[in-house]
Structure 1
């Protein structure tokens, strides 16, 4: 809101439309229309609108990127940025399409199965040690 001031002596000579108004925050005397004009506000409004448009564009780009983010073929969880980069670098034939958690669960399952297989083989070897084929 502009704040204007003048004196009665200045108003008497050229009248209220002459350069008799001081606007706080500006130098010199101005006519009423110049004193009420707000070119700084127009530039500020334009800068705010530009910043808002850029922020809206950035939000849209981020939303679009999230929409394209691949998901795990098993649990449907979205890939992390690291896993997504790995997925894009990988040969499509060699990539399993699993997230890091599902990969870890698969590796744990394979390790348990291998341990069970070793244990069963060791027990079979121990149990069948007294009989040999000739």
Structure 2
């Protein structure tokens, strides 16, 4: 029976029974495996499997499967492309946020970036979060070098150890070795200098301002007062003592 023609060029024979005919002369000449079977509705003889089957439908199904595979492969390729674009965008945004060393201008490595991230409460913080590893090591080494006592200065048992060279609170200049030694605290005692937070120049300017404010050097007044206290009052005798009474 004739089937229903489909868009792919083949016929659909669902629900139908094929009618096949064969001639004895054809069987004798080509045998049962040859193209000797004629199916009603088709032109030309076919092999038995072709006659009872639907080769054109099978070919159409194979083409449809290939097309489905191609569409699925294209869809997966589109997904991969979109994922790659998203990953590249996120990487660019992350790279834009990467810290830059304030010392040398180099970008932080991933390990250094992770090391300077805020820690949990109570965890130790990085000492130089604005510097890369190389600049941090140099800064730490320089700080340790500054903490070492200078030759010719007081021994460690004479002065308290200073964490770093003092800086004048007035002008911001670093103390010289001489001023640092003069203002250093002795063990058990305060600093011998009157104004240990000032450098030598600022201390002298402070003294000069005091002199101008008093009109006379208060140091001279202190020396005069000290001399007055040091000289005891002399007792007078004789007629001069009687006059004073």
TM > 0.5 fold call? yes
Can you give the 5+ residue segments of structure 1 that lack an aligned partner in the other structure?
Answer: 1-7, 22-27, 126-134
Query: Relative to 1, partners in 2 of residues 1:120 and 1:85: Cα closer, same or farther, differing over 3 Å?
Result: farther
For 1:103 and 1:30, the matched residues in 2 are separated by: 72
The reply to whether residue 104 of structure 1 matches residue 137 of structure 2 is yes
RMSD between aligned alpha carbons?
3.7
For 2:129 and 2:92, the matched residues in 1 are separated by: 26
Query: Relative to 1, partners in 2 of residues 1:96 and 1:56: Cα closer, same or farther, differing over 3 Å?
Result: closer
Equivalent positions of 1:27-38 (< 5 A) are 29-31=58-60, 35=63, 38=67
For 1:107 and 1:120, the matched residues in 2 are separated by: 25
For 2:118 and 2:87, the matched residues in 1 are separated by: 25
For 1:62 and 1:86, the matched residues in 2 are separated by: 19
- Poorly superposed stretches of 4+, deviation over 3 Å: none
Q: 1:82 aligns to what? A: 111
Q: CA deviation at 1:78?
A: 1.1
For 1:114 and 1:121, the matched residues in 2 are separated by: 13
Residues matched between the structures, number? 103
Query: Relative to 1, partners in 2 of residues 1:62 and 1:30: Cα closer, same or farther, differing over 3 Å?
Result: same
Q: 1:39 aligns to what? A: 68
Contact 2:128 / 2:136 at 8 angstroms: preserved in 1? no
Q: 2:203 aligns to what? A: none
Query: Relative to 1, partners in 2 of residues 1:119 and 1:35: Cα closer, same or farther, differing over 3 Å?
Result: same
Equivalent positions of 1:1-134 (< 5 A) are 13=42, 20-21=55-56, 29-31=58-60, 35=63, 38-89=67-118, 96-115=129-148, 117-121=149-153
Q: CA deviation at 1:34?
A: 6.7
For 1:104 and 1:38, the matched residues in 2 are separated by: 63
